[in-house]
Chains A and B, each alone.
Chain A
């Protein structure tokens, strides 16, 4: 799920950036540092949408670096258990398949793939129904439900299922 939230971060800035463009420098450094990172609590930071305020800088003894507390608005993406996501299949193997929904990796084990889908080996491994009408392979788009998440400090990993109503392939690249 996406959230628009306000986060705070202390930015350490080298003295060479001090000057007229101090503010712009802080913002560009913040974007470089924060966008694309993942925190266990808030999820993936997708984009910074605005700066709330930049506090007073504090000069560090000895180094000359200055720390600015920056409050910024950003869009974060955090997967939840029970959430329905649409994802792109990245890898298919005997144990199941991996898919990506933006920055999140999702594993769907073969127990959570409908029973009528069989694993087919080959240079393009896939899961196929007996009549061949539905095929899950690399680059297929699937709709899945997250049934478990592992949230580390810097990483979120999910497991999903397509063994439920209205889940499964939504767009097959082979047929497109």
Chain B
């Protein structure tokens, strides 16, 4: 935040526009002593070296009477160059301001006497750079516009002269002067054709001196405009220089005090009882201490839930096929088979469910486990019946191995299953690539449209030709 270009702008504007401003009333005699022209410039310059400043302090430093200063400042407030703030405050608050000032300007403040103040209304003032920039620009714009308007006779009422009898009319008479026979204005007296006054003829016939005065006035205006452009050139240059710079903002008095205080505290690292940010809690002028920017975080629980749901559906996407649907030669995962071999014992299936990392596959989803168990049980029963001939011991071993295999396999299969799912997800991408071929086909249509466009102007030209022909 570079403040220097803006300060330069303020100084230039002060010298350009407020150099001979006197804040005295018109009725007071203007003697040499009471002539306070130039004070405006001094005050503005002083303000460029400060931020928020108490008006009393400013008066003291400028060695001005506070009344005189206040009058000047009020004038600047009306001119929108300065923002002011008034508030009732105690000595403590005043001290707080002093602390803030001490932090921004390295100047040493006089603090004696502050403690005696009970409750006084203090006025503070500060330059409003953003507004100054706009005000100066607007002022220049108005000046230029006014001069140009006058130069171009923009808002003047046109006058007409009758060359025969010399009678004058103006545009407000236009309705009466209209004739039915032609499109000129006619004199009411002699029915002569009127001519606009600025025309050459009128200048010769009509009042010559009047026209001279008019011409002189125009010269003067033009001169003035030129002078303005030359004399205000530095100001305009400064304006354009400042245009893209960030405008220094001090915020309102309270914000500024707290910021400045905080900055000072950060720099000094001290936390005395005079600490502004602390005492800010105590004094009544600020309704709320500056708490930093409020941040609101919104967590959409619904979205998360959805995600969970999605992943769950993804993981349970492969539904367990009922046994009667399973046929020879079907390419099924273990899950789809309902993990037939898993858990001939209830405990095992539980352990399997718990040991698997995938929590989404319902830990404690009793129904499912029961179903699985029942299926497994039936399957096992079937197997048992088939393998009835085999010895019990052998059977036992077989089962044991199959179970352990089932575990490792099922877990790996699960992974594979997920992957295959993803591959399925990838497939649509392929489809998109596939669809690009028809898009290529579409481009030819695009060319066609272009062709149509190319034809359109030609037809437009034909129309033009027609019009020409008609006119011919």
Contacts and interface: CB of A to CB of B under 8 A. Distances in A.
Contacts of A157: 172, 174-175
Interface in A82-110: 91, 93-96, 98, 105, 107, 109-110
A109 B171 contact: yes
B153 A93 contact: no
B158 to A, nearest CB: 4
A71 interface: no
A163 B171 contact: no
A163 B174 CA distance: 19
B171 A159 contact: yes
A148 interface: yes
A11 B158 CA distance: 42
Given A94-B183, A95-B183, A95-B184, A159 B155 contact: no
A96 B174 contact: yes
Contact of B174 (A94, A107, A111, A149): A107
A58 interface: no
B185 interface: yes
B408 interface: no
Contact of A112 (B154, B178, B183): B154
Contacts of A112: 154, 158
A164 B154 contact: yes
Contacts, number: 54
Question: DSSP majority for the A interface?
Answer: strand
Contact of A163 (B154, B175, B184, B185): B154
A109 B158 contact: yes
Contacts of B153: 111
A112 B154 CA distance: 7
A159 B157 contact: yes
Given A107-B174, A157-B172, 5 more contacts: A93-B183, A98-B174, A109-B174, A159-B171, A164-B154
Contact of A111 (B158, B172, B185): B158
A161 interface: yes
Contact of A150 (B152, B172, B178, B183): B172
Interface string B175-194: 10010000111000000000
7 contacts: A91-B178, A95-B183, A109-B158, A147-B156, A147-B157, A148-B157, A148-B172
Nearest to B172: A150
A125 interface: yes
A94 B153 CA distance: 19
Interface residues of B, number: 17
A111 B152 CA distance: 9
Interface string A146-164: 0111100000010101011
A147 B183 contact: no
**Which of A105, A110, A163 has its CB near the most chain B CB atoms (within 10 A)?**
A163
Interface residues of A, number: 22
A116 B158 CA distance: 19
B171 A148 contact: yes
A174 to B, nearest CB: 12
Interface in A107-142: 107, 109-112, 125
A138 to B, nearest CB: 13
Nearest to A149: B172
Contacts of A93: 178, 183-184
Contacts of A125: 183
Interface in A48-96: 91, 93-96
B100 to A, nearest CB: 46
Contacts of A107: 171-172, 174-175
A163 B158 CA distance: 13
B278 to A, nearest CB: 55
A148 B171 CA distance: 9
Contacts of A98: 174-175, 178
Interface in B401-439: none
A92 B185 CA distance: 13
Nearest to B158: A109
Contacts of A159: 157-158, 171-172, 174
B21 interface: no
